[in-house]
């Protein structure tokens, strides 16, 4: 599967749940490509913008769509990596800000055995 196929496969379903792909299609395809890279190297689609441990149990909260998406899209109109956004984000009726990391850093360290 390539990024374009993944885009088509996910789009309708995610939109039915109220999550839209970022209108920046180039960015979305790059992120989907990165998800496929992570699927290959870890066995699961860990968030492209977070350091995964490679262990599914430890990475469960950051397997895309991550558990932080709902709160981030509600507060900022976009998820952490920018793949999923609200309609307001795409219509630019809200400011585009950098989303701070919601995940507890202790999880990152635990995943790395530190």
Partner 1 sequence: MNKNVKLYALSTCIHCKNTKEFLDESNAEYDCCYVDKLEGDERTRVIEEIKKLNPSLSFPTLCIGNTVIVGYKKDEIKKALES
- Judged by CB under 8 A, the residue of 7, 11, 14, 30 near partner 1 is 30
Residue 47 or 86 having the CB closest to partner 1: 47
Asked if 110 interacts with partner 1 (CB under 8 A), we say: no
Per-residue binding letters, 84-103, with partner 1 (x by CB under 8 A): --------------xxxx-x
The answer to whether the beta carbons of residues 48 and 35 sit under 8 Å apart is: yes
CA 8/CA 71 separation, integer angstroms: 25
Asked if 48 interacts with partner 1 (CB under 8 A), we say: yes
Return the SS3 of 21: strand
CA 38/CA 53 separation, integer angstroms: 11
Residue 83 or 86 having the CB closest to partner 1: 83
Q: What residues have CB less than 8 Å from 83, skipping those under 6 apart?
A: 21, 22, 28, 31, 32, 64
CA 19 vs. chain centroid, Å, equals 11
CB of 48 to partner 1, least distance (A): 4
Asked if 10 interacts with partner 1 (CB under 8 A), we say: no
Which positions lie near partner 1, rule CB under 8 A?
Answer: 27, 30-31, 34, 37-38, 48-52, 81-82, 98-101, 103, 105, 108-109, 112, 114
């Amino acid at each position: 599967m390539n990024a374009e196929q993944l885009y088509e496969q996910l789009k309708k379903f995610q939109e039915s749940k109220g999550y839209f792909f970022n209108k920046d299609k180039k960015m979305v395809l790059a992120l989907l490509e990165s998800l496929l890279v992570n699927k290959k190297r870890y066995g699961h689609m860990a968030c492209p913008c977070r350091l995964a441990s490679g262990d599914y149990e430890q990475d469960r909260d950051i397997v895309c769509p991550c558990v932080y998406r709902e709160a981030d899209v509600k507060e900022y109109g976009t998820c952490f990596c920018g793949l999923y956004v609200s309609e307001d984000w795409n219509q630019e009726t809200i400011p585009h800000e950098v989303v701070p990391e919601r995940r507890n850093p202790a999880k990152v360290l635990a995943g790395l055995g530190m």
